[in-house]
Amino acid sequence: MDSAEYERKIASRFAAFDQDGNGSIDREDFSKAAASVLAEFSVTARSDKGQALYSGAEAFWQGMAGIADVDGDQRVSRQEFVTSAVKRLRDNPERFGEIARPFLHAVVAVADEDGTGVTPASAARVMRALGVDAQVARQAAASLDTDGDNRISEEELLAAFAAYYVTPEQPR
Cα separation, 37 vs 39, in Å, equals 5
pTM assigned to the model: 0.87
pLDDT tens-digit readout, 104-144: 999 999 999 888 889 999 999 999 999 888 999 999 999 99
24 SS3 class: strand
Tell me the H-state helices in 2-76. 3-17, 27-40, 48-68
- 171: how many CB neighbours lie within 10 A of its CB? 6
- How many C-beta atoms surround the C-beta of residue 72 within 10 A? 7
